Amino acid sequence: MAPRSPAVDVLADIVGWSGSPKWLPDWRITERLLGLSLPDDYKALLSTVPAGKYAGTVRLNAPTRTGYEGDLLALHREVMLSLKDGRKPPYAAFPQLPGLIPWATFDHPMGGELFWLADDGDPNKWPVVARSADGNWEECDVSAVAFLIALVRGKLPSKLLTPKPGAPAYRTSQDLPGAPNNTGR
């Protein structure tokens, strides 16, 4: 389990989460498959608050046992393929470094993906990059958790995604049918 983080505690408080995730990612497997470490706040977040949807728009899914066990890239396979579909994105795709690693999707107002711009330096300093469905890009020099805090507070300086009006700050997906658990069922 990843250590707790003050930023994750702030986010959990903002969204009203006080429970425990029913399923904890195996970060050793995920990081071994990637060949690099992931940001500490992301690991702390998914070890504290289960996968779910933030502000009615950002869907955060933990690496699961679908695709390949613990494989973050298998979870976002179509996204990774779309980065190589012939249109030249402004960033390279992982495993090239610096390169994009997807960590979430969003669906309001238009939809798209959230990435880290990963390099071989400190993963806790990787910026968040957003790509909208229409091919526009934004780079935010914040961590994934700081990004989510700004989103649910309605203070995210983005032209690509906004909180969905009337949506709750957070809704867990751990109780949906087919959601993973630590028994593998």
C-beta of residue 167 within 8 angstroms of C-beta of residue 45: no
Residue 52 has pLDDT above 90, yes or no: yes
pLDDT band of residue 185 (cuts 50, 70, 90) is very low
Residue 3 has pLDDT above 80, yes or no: no
Round to whole Å and give the CA distance between 56 and 168.
6
Q: What is the mean pLDDT of residues 39-57?
A: 94
Q: In this structure, are strands 112-118 and 128-132 parallel, antiparallel, or unpaired?
A: antiparallel
Burial (Cβ within 10 Å: 0-12, 13-18, ≥19) of residue 31: middle
C-beta of residue 172 within 8 angstroms of C-beta of residue 20: no
pLDDT of residue 26: 82
Instruction: Give this prediction's pTM.
Output: 0.89
Q: Strand 58-60: give its sheet, edge to edge.
A: 137-140, 128-132, 112-118, 99-106, 58-60, 52-54, 170-172
